[in-house]
């Protein structure tokens, strides 16, 4: 029996937890999950997975020494890590060397991509950025503000009709790629298994790519509620950010509005490998059925 490939998965939140069933089922691999507080995750980890305590804000020398013990490092730490945390991680991986590093991002995140392209080969590190678009759950989260179940946009004197507000980032023709975390887990695991050419490149996943107009039509159709459509234009989003420059959510909204975070589904790993994925309509049907 060959020596098992050692995988370090950093983070076991919404994304990391969705990777575990797929990664831990790979033959001849052992998965360790690195989090700050392993005690929180005792029930989550399948029995063939180890939990280790680690903090990616620790000094770099310490982390590089940890990474040396692994063949593959996968980063799935939380939303809102300090700026530069992914760059720090990439540099520590270079110091450890002889590794494969996988990073799921919503988009391409130019600084990290350029660093990986410039430095990884010298350190004998192979890398893959898995661009996932927005998480399916995130697209429908109240705090993201795109599918807003709670606002009552029109003051109504005698009755309050049941409405959903759908907002477009930039305009109704802007598109967004969306992937459910379980499907990101399936795609990432096929990348780890070597089923697709992914060394030293960005690969794409998308359960769906929809315009905000299509999203509003899907919500209208499956929710059976009146949809109020509101455009969040780039000037509007810039003005909101100027009021609160540290608001991470507004910063991300501007990225989705300005640059667009979308790609054609035909160019994705899930399409290439015929992986069955959840689309926006399927997710919305489940979500709104659960709310009835």
Ligand X SMILES: NC(=O)c1ccc[n+]([C@@H]2O[C@H](COP(=O)([O-])OP(=O)(O)OC[C@H]3O[C@@H](n4cnc5c(N)ncnc54)[C@H](OP(=O)(O)O)[C@@H]3O)[C@@H](O)[C@H]2O)c1
Applying CB under 6 A, the residues found at the interface with ligand X are 10-16, 34-37, 40, 54-57, 76-79, 106, 132, 134-135, 138
Shortest spacing between CB 133 and ligand X, in angstroms: 6
Q: Alpha-carbon distance 205 to 263, whole Å?
A: 9
Residue 127 class from Cβ within 10 Å (0-12 exposed, 13-18 middle, 19+ buried)?
buried
Residue 55 CB, shortest distance to ligand X, in Å, is: 4
Cβ neighbours of 85 (radius 10 Å) = 15
Residue with tokens 């309509």: 281
Considering the complex, state which of residue 127 and residue 163 has its C-beta at the smaller distance from ligand X.
Answer: 127
Residue closer to ligand X (CB basis): 15 or 116 = 15
Shortest Cβ 10–ligand X spacing (Å): 6
| DSSP state letters, 213-269 | HHHHHHHHHHH-SEEEEEEE-HHHHHHHHHHSTT-HHHHHHHHHHHT-B---GGGSH
Alpha-carbon torsion angle 94, 107, 240, 143, nearest 10: -100
Closer to ligand X by Cβ: residue 15 or 222: 15
Shortest CA distance to 208 belongs to which of 126, 160, 123, 265? 265
d(CA 169, CA 260): 9
Q: What is the largest CA-CA distance in the chain?
A: 73
Q: What is the closest distance, in whole angstroms, from the C-beta atom of residue 183 to ligand X in the complex?
A: 12
Nearer to ligand X, 38 or 97 (CB): 38
Reference 184, options 18, 11, 2; nearest CA is: 18
**CB nearer ligand X, residue 36 or residue 251:** 36
Minimum distance from residue 191 beta carbon to ligand X (Å): 16
Pick the closest to residue 129 from 110, 154, 152 (CA basis): 110
Q: Least distance in Å: CB of 255 to ligand X?
A: 11
- Which residues make Cβ contacts (< 8 Å) with residue 145, sequence separation at least 6? 167, 232, 249, 253
Residue 276: CB minimum distance to ligand X, A: 20
Complex with ligand X: residue 11 or 163, whichever CB lies closer = 11
Nearer to ligand X, 19 or 163 (CB): 19
Closest CA to 280 of 144, 130, 139: 139
| Distance in Å, CB of 5 to ligand X, minimum | 21
218 vs 140: CA distance, rounded Å: 12
State the residue number with the nearest CB to ligand X: 13
Nearer residue to ligand X within complex by CB, 132 or 277: 132
């Amino acid at each position: 029996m060959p020596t098992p490939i050692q995988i370090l998965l950093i983070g076991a939140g919404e994304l990391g937890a969705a990777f575990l069933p797929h990664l831990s089922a790979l033959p001849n691999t052992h998965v360790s999950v690195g989090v700050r507080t392993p005690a929180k995750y005792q029930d989550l980890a399948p029995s063939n997975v180890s939990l280790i305590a680690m903090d990616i804000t620790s000094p770099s020398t310490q982390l590089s020494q940890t990474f040396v013990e692994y063949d593959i490092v996968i980063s799935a730490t939380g939303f809102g890590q300090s700026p530069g945390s992914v760059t720090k991680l990439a540099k520590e991986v270079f110091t450890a060397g002889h590794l494969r590093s996988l990073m799921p991002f919503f988009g391409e995140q130019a600084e990290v991509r350029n660093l990986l392209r410039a430095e990884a080969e010298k350190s004998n590190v192979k890398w893959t950025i898995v661009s996932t678009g927005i998480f399916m759950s995130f697209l429908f989260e109240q705090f993201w503000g795109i599918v807003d179940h709670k606002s009552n946009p029109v003051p109504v004197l005698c009755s309050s009709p049941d409405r959903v507000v759908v907002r477009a980032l930039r305009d109704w023709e802007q598109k967004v790629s969306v992937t459910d975390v379980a499907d990101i887990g399936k795609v990432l695991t096929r990348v780890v298994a070597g089923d697709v050419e992914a060394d030293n490149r960005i690969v794409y996943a998308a359960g769906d790519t929809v315009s905000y107009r299509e999203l509003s039509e899907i919500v209208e159709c499956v929710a059976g509620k009146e949809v109020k459509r509101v455009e969040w234009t780039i000037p509007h989003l810039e003005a909101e950010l100027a009021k609160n420059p540290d608001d991470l959510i507004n910063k991300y909204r501007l990225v989705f509005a300005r640059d667009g975070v979308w790609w054609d589904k035909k160019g994705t790993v899930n399409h290439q490998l015929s992986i069955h994925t959840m689309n926006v309509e399927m997710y919305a049907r489940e979500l709104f059925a659960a709310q009835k």
